[in-house]
């Protein structure tokens, strides 16, 4: 049953006050606050707060029931993916934090680079071996534009790889350093940039046209962009070092490009990569990745996707070694993600999967509401009718199922604590990056 507690708000930090308890599980004021709109209309504040709390209670009831039914096991993989995404993002923030510091000399040096433009042609491919083969063909007289049109993954491939004039500052490292020592007509060796391999040919350099605004006018925006650029370069540096720790087995990569049903048990045991010279990843570990390949995806992009997955796994291992998953805000976000995954699992099992709209149902609806349709042909509106019936039945099923969960649940609400919840936007603003 639902009971209202006539209690004063708990003492302590406002965000930690308990506004409700659902089967022994507490809901803190901060959870409600996080879901409130930024501009909360004072006339509707009580209604909105109660609606938000009802939604949180529903989510918790579904998550609890999903656990009781054993759906948590099936949801673990999705929860792990959510945790990996959160923790890897924190690893990125930690790795690039130094990019938020900017000295005056660094600012002035970067501004000088902004005053010069380079005209480049670029070939970008996902695989080192392909990039080195293309470099060899260029050295033997192949036409740069033809290879770019055929192999490059950049949007400018259709223009023969012509990237036009680009401010030198915005050329990613380490390609920038290598390109700026070239003379017109010369090319870089294959260079790894942000997980792909690039070959650049310098056409010419010139003063920026038009030049950047005076630094005195442009400074705040330029500082923001430069810090963003520094963070990206730090991330690229970390990823370059991480990729040095991985050795790939071409045989394993080739196996993952085959149709899944043709991969033998022996092939599943073949190593795809070695991490830190000792740990290895087998084909079997990556079959779930291969299963998501679109049929039209070519072999090079399949291999790129596999490599990217292995890199993300190694990033995750680094983050866990640093204990980043234990950060309080990460733990809170993950708890919400876990509830969402369990909610969706139970919703699918008990709501969506139990709904059926037959062709006869569609025809009956059409006959009973024929006057509301402009066409005498039921086939022309069948999909719309089916969708409408599914929505109606989904809402009815949800109402019925939720009422059943609430009837057997013990839910208490601290009305005083709920009424005190406000959206403290300034206090909880995201940190500046």
Whether 181 and 155 have beta carbons less than 8 Å apart is answered as no
pLDDT over 70 (residue 83): yes
Same domain, yes or no: 19 and 59: yes
Q: What is residue 87's predicted lDDT score, i.e. its pLDDT?
A: 95
Q: Are residues 197 and 255 in the same domain?
A: no
Q: Is 357 a domain residue? A: yes
Whether 340 contacts 59, CB under 8 Å? yes
248 and 308 in a single domain? The answer is yes
β-bridge pairing 196-207 and 191-193: antiparallel
**Dihedrals φ, ψ of 20, to 5°?**
-160, 160
Q: Look up tokens 């707060």; give the residue.
A: 49
Instruction: Give yes or no: residues 307 and 362 share one domain.
Output: no
Tokens matching residue 414: 């601290």
Q: What is the pLDDT of residues 349-399, one digit of tens each?
A: 999 999 999 999 999 999 999 989 988 998 999 999 999 999 999 999 999
The token duo for 113 is: 């680079």
Q: Decide if 339 is inside a domain.
A: no
Where b means 16+ CB within 10 Å and e means fewer, 127-138 reads beebbeebbeeb
Residues in the chain: 433
Confidence of residue 424 (pLDDT cuts 50, 70, 90): low
Q: What does residue 167 show for φ and ψ, rounded to 5 degrees?
A: -55, 135
Would you say residue 384 lies in a domain? yes
Residues β-bridged to residue 120 = 164, 202
N-terminal to C-terminal alpha carbon distance within the chain? 46
Q: Is residue 361 part of a domain?
A: yes
User: What is the rounded CA–CA span in Å between residue 49 and residue 421?
Assistant: 8
**Confidence label for 188 from pLDDT (cuts 50, 70 and 90):** very high
Tens digits of residue pLDDT in 203-250:
999 999 888 999 999 899 999 999 999 999 999 899 989 999 999 999
- On whether the CB atoms of residues 182 and 191 are closer than 8 A, the answer is no
Determine contact, residues 60/25, Cβ cutoff 8 Å. yes
Contact by Cβ (8 Å): 182, 202: yes
Total domains in the fold of the chain:
4
Global pTM value: 0.68
| Domain housing 197 | 116-211
pLDDT attached to residue 425: 47
pLDDT at 194: 82
Contact between 292 and 61 (Cβ < 8 Å): no
Q: What local confidence, expressed as pLDDT, does residue 39 receive?
A: 76
Domain membership flag for residue 36: yes
Q: What are phi and psi of 281, to 5 degrees?
A: -115, 125
In the block, tokens 């009781």 appear at 68
Whether 199 and 255 map to the same domain: the answer is no
245 burial via Cβ count (<10 Å: 0-12, 13-18, 19+)? middle
Q: Is residue 277 part of a domain?
A: yes
Residue 78 placed within a domain:
no
Distance separating alpha carbons of residues 63 and 71, to the nearest angstrom: 9
Is 205 strand, coil or helix?
strand
Shared domain for 314 and 382, answered yes or no, is no
User: Is residue 107, in this structure, part of any structural domain at all?
Assistant: no
> In terms of domains, do 144 and 202 share one?
yes
Do strands 411-414 and 2-5 pair parallel, antiparallel, or not at all (unpaired)?
parallel
Give the CATH number, domain containing residue 176: 3.10.50.40
């Amino acid at each position: 049953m639902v009971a209202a507690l006539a209690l004063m708000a708990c003492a302590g930090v406002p965000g930690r006050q308990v506004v409700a308890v659902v089967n022994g599980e507490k809901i803190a004021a901060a959870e409600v606050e996080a879901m409130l709109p930024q501009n909360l209309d004072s006339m509707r504040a009580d209604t909105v707060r109660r609606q938000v709390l009802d939604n949180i209670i529903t989510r918790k009831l579904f998550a609890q029931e999903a656990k009781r039914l054993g759906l948590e096991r099936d949801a673990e993989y999705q929860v792990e993916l959510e945790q990996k995404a959160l923790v890897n993002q924190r690893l990125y923030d930690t790795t690039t934090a130094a990019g938020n510091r900017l000295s005056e000399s660094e600012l002035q040096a970067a501004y000088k680079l902004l005053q010069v433009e380079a005209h480049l042609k670029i070939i970008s491919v996902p695989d080192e071996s392909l990039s080195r083969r293309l470099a060899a063909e260029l050295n033997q007289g192949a036409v740069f534009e033809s290879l770019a049109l055929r192999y490059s993954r950049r949007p400018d491939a259709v223009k023969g790889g012509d990237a036009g004039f680009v401010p030198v500052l915005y050329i990613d490292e380490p390609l920038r350093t290598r390109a700026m020592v070239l003379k017109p007509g010369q090319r870089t060796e294959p260079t790894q940039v942000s997980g792909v391999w690039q070959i650049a040919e310098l056409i010419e350099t010139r003063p920026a046209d038009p030049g950047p605004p005076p630094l005195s006018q442009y400074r705040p925006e330029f500082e923001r962009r430069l810090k963003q650029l520094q963070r990206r370069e730090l991330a690229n540096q970390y990823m370059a070092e991480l990729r040095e720790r991985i050795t790939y087995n071409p045989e394993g990569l080739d196996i993952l490009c085959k149709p899944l049903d043709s991969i033998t048990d022996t092939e599943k045991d073949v190593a795809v990569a070695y991490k830190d010279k000792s740990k290895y990843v087998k084909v079997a570990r990556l079959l779930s990745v291969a299963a998501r390949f679109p049929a039209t995806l070519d072999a090079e992009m399949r291999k790129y996707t596999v490599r990217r997955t292995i890199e993300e796994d190694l990033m995750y291992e680094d983050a866990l070694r640093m204990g980043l998953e234990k950060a309080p805000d990460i733990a809170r976000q993950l708890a919400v993600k876990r509830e969402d995954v369990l909610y969706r699992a139970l919703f699918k099992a008990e709501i969506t999967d139990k709904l059926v709209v037959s062709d006869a149902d569609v025809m009956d609806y059409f006959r009973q509401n024929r006057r509301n349709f402009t066409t005498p042909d039921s086939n022309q509106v069948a999909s719309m009718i089916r969708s409408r019936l599914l929505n109606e039945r989904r809402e009815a099923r949800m109402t019925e199922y939720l009422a059943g969960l609430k009837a057997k649940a013990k839910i208490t609400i601290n009305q005083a604590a709920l009424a005190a919840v406000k959206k403290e936007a300034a206090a909880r603003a995201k940190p500046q990056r």
